[in-house]
């Protein structure tokens, strides 16, 4: 289905051509002066130099070709040569009626669907999720959903950190605490217990304790390094413990991500990439890409065009140990072999940018990916507190994610109870739905690459550019439709009629922008554009609602048209928030 802007541009391009000018000048944009017009074309200004004519002469000639246009109700030339445009109300209503029957509300399915692996989440096992994990999860989930909606095969991978010194530290601390466990008996040949010798709570206490000890006690650190080495060499007892750590951690991680309505197709781990490392490293040596430098094995990735120093990519340390870089490269090898993706997109803290520049260049230089495989990095900014510093607990520590969610749910519960719009027994569940909108919209309404202030008071407000305000708008529409139906109305009957009021037409114009917004948001990996759009739609609906007696309208055809219009608004808003990763309750 063609977008309304495309159709307008085609009309303008044809008019430019008929007037004897290049049709490329027929580009249409949303007006920067909505008090004067809805859209504008500045092509005459751009063409003046090429045709050595005053822009208003070109504009007049183009406008003359649009006298009988069925698309525009107004075509007006304003000096020095702007063409101001208003959409014809009948044409707009007709286009929206078609949009309402379109499977994806005017969003076109990609003609050449791509397979895109999106790497987001990135938690470490044995550690609780904290607020630092929030942005990756929320942004990645939204981009995955938008990509699927426009027709691509999106594969979400959590990419767990499970293979470094942290494993050795946990094993060492367990050995100190419970040396009698069979996992530490080198003569043991039986089956290892199926139940883990620790709970998630104990595991989360063990790691920081072990980490602190290793910084103060060199012997303890050496023991942990040896345990890590033994694990990576396949020690059976340590491998059994490692599996317990994974199972307990992943179960807890899945529960926490489910609370955020975030899910992954793959629960791949750093350890999954280990088998690919030896062959990958050998390939880089054999082809002359890798060389020794001060005992380490490195690959040069600097380029002549670099304006800053890009250090070599270190594959192996002098002791032969691999690094994150090695694992990330081997993960690319694994992904290419298993999925042959068209693109691998990483949603990671922007402070990791240099690391990914090195990894991407190394992967491309050494032929780990095909020439047309795209490697992308979306680096997100920091979530800060009101003091402008990284968000902390009141005590100054890193806040656990489930505590943040709980705090916001509690805030929403109090507001909903004060509002008295939901019965007490439903208020708790409603608070969770609205609280999630506050968190996700609060994050996603900011451009991903920028730092932002996480302000609980503002994000949980029912007014302004917030998740709860968007949900309140959807709930208001649901309430009107519910009352209409209760009074015997048919939600499917009738058709959208041309607008008779300014606020009605403005709502129609906003809804017409849905398809272009979604496609652009995916193209630019920018969920904040959907947030900005639905805020405008919500404002447009609420203006229309306050100025229009929808249910008491006496003309039955006009009333039915209003119902069709707000039904379309509800579908647009609900589809949009689903792409952002949250839903709306029936009442608030």
Q: Show pLDDT as tens, one digit a residue, over the chain (588 residues).
A: 999 999 999 999 999 999 999 999 999 999 989 999 999 999 999 999 999 999 999 999 999 999 999 999 999 999 999 999 999 999 999 999 999 999 999 999 999 999 999 999 999 998 889 888 999 999 999 999 999 999 999 999 999 999 889 999 999 999 999 999 999 999 999 999 999 999 999 998 999 999 999 999 999 999 999 999 999 889 999 999 999 999 999 999 999 999 999 999 999 999 999 999 999 999 999 999 999 999 999 999 999 999 999 999 999 988 887 889 999 999 999 999 999 999 999 999 999 999 999 999 999 999 999 999 999 999 999 999 988 888 876 666 678 899 999 999 999 998 888 877 677 678 899 999 999 999 999 999 999 999 999 999 999 999 999 999 999 999 999 999 999 999 999 999 999 999 999 999 999 999 999 999 999 999 999 999 999 999 999 999 999 999 999 999 999 999 999 999 999 999 999 999 999 999 999 988
Going along the chain from its start, the domains and CATH numbers come out as 4-87 (3.30.1360.70), 165-259 (no CATH), 268-339+354-370 (no CATH), 411-580 (1.10.730.10)
Measured in Å, how far apart are the chain's first and last C-alpha atoms? 35
**Alpha carbon distance 430, 426 (integer Å):** 6
Residue-by-residue DSSP string for 480-510: HHHHHHHTT--TT-S-PPPP-SHHHHHHHHH
Query: What letter would DSSP give residue 405?
Result: H
Residue 561: closest CA among 544, 573, 540: 544
Reported as type and span, the H/E element at residue 115 is: strand 115-119
Residue 281: closest CA among 233, 330, 317: 330
Phi, psi dihedrals of residue 550, rounded to the nearest 5°: -65, -55
Reported as a single tens digit per residue, the pLDDT across 397-423 is: 678 899 999 999 999 998 888 877 677
Is 347 exposed, middle or buried, given 0-12, 13-18 or 19+ CB atoms closer than 10 A? buried
Neighbouring-strand partners of residue 511: none
Q: What does R_g of the chain's alpha carbons equal in angstroms? A: 29
Paired tokens of 564: 């069709």
The answer to whether the CB of 509 falls within 8 A of the CB of 73 is: no
Paired tokens of 537: 């739609």
């Amino acid at each position: 289905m063609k977008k309304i802007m495309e159709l307008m541009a085609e009309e303008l391009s044809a008019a430019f051509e008929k007037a004897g000018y290049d049709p490329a000048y027929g580009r249409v944009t949303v007006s920067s002066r909505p008090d004067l017009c809805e859209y504008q074309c500045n092509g005459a200004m751009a063409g003046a130099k090429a045709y050595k004519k005053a822009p208003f002469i070109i504009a007049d000639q183009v406008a003359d070709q649009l006298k009988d246009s069925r698309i525009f109700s107004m075509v007006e030339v304003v000096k020095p040569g702007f063409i101001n445009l208003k959409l014809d109300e009948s044409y707009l209503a007709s286009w929206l009626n078609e949009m309402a029957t379109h499977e994806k509300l005017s969003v076109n399915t990609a003609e050449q669907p791509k397979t895109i692996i999106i790497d987001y989440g990135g938690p470490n096992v044995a550690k609780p999720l904290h607020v630092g994990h929030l942005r990756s999860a929320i942004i990645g989930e939204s981009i995955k959903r938008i990509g699927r909606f426009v027709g691509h095969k999106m594969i979400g991978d959590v990419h767990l950190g499970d293979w470094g010194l942290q494993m050795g530290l946990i094993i060492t601390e367990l050995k100190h605490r419970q040396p009698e466990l069979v996992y530490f008996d080198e003569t043991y040949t039986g089956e290892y217990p199926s139940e883990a010798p620790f709970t998630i709570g104990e595991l989360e206490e063990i790691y920081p304790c072990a980490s602190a000890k290793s910084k103060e006690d060199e012997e303890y650190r050496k023991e942990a390094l040896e345990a890590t080495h033994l694990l990576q060499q396949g020690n059976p007892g340590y491998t059994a413990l490692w599996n317990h750590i994974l199972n307990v951690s992943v179960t807890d991680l899945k529960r926490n991500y489910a609370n955020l309505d975030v899910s992954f197709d793959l629960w791949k781990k750093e350890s999954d990439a280990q088998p690919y490392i030896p062959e990958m490293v050998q390939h880089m040596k054999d082809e002359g890409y890798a060389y020794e430098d001060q005992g380490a094995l490195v690959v040069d990735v600097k380029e002549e065009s670099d304006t800053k120093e890009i250090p070599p990519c270190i594959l192996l340390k002098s002791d032969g140990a691999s690094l994150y870089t090695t694992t990330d490269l081997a993960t690319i090898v694994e992904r290419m072999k298993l999925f042959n993706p068209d693109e691998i997109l990483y949603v990671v803290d922007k402070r990791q940018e240099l690391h990914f520049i090195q990894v991407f260049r190394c992967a491309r230089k050494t032929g780990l990916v095909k020439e047309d495989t795209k490697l992308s990095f979306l680096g997100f900014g920091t979530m800060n507190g009101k003091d402008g510093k990284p968000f902390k607990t009141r005590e100054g520590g890193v806040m656990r994610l489930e505590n943040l969610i709980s705090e916001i749910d509690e805030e929403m519960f109090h507001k909903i109870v004060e509002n008295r719009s939901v019965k007490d027994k439903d208020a708790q569940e409603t608070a969770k739905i609205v609280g999630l909108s506050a968190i996700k919209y609060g994050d996603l309404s900011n451009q991903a690459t920028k730092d932002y202030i996480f302000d609980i008071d503002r994000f949980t407000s029912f007014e302004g550019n917030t998740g709860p305000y968007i949900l309140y708008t959807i709930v208001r529409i649901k309430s009107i439709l519910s009352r209409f139906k209760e009074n015997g109305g048919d939600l499917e009957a009738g058709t959208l009629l041309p607008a008779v009021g300014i606020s009605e037409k403005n709502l129609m114009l906003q809804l017409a922008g849905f398809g272009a917004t979604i496609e652009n948001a995916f193209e630019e990996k920018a969920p904040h554009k959907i947030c900005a759009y639905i805020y405008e739609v919500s404002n447009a609906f609420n203006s229309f609602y306050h100025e229009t007696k929808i249910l008491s309208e006496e003309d039955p055809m006009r009333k039915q048209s209003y119902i069709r219009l707000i039904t379309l608004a509800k579908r647009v808003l609900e589809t949009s928030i689903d792409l952002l990763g949250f839903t709306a309750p029936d009442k608030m």
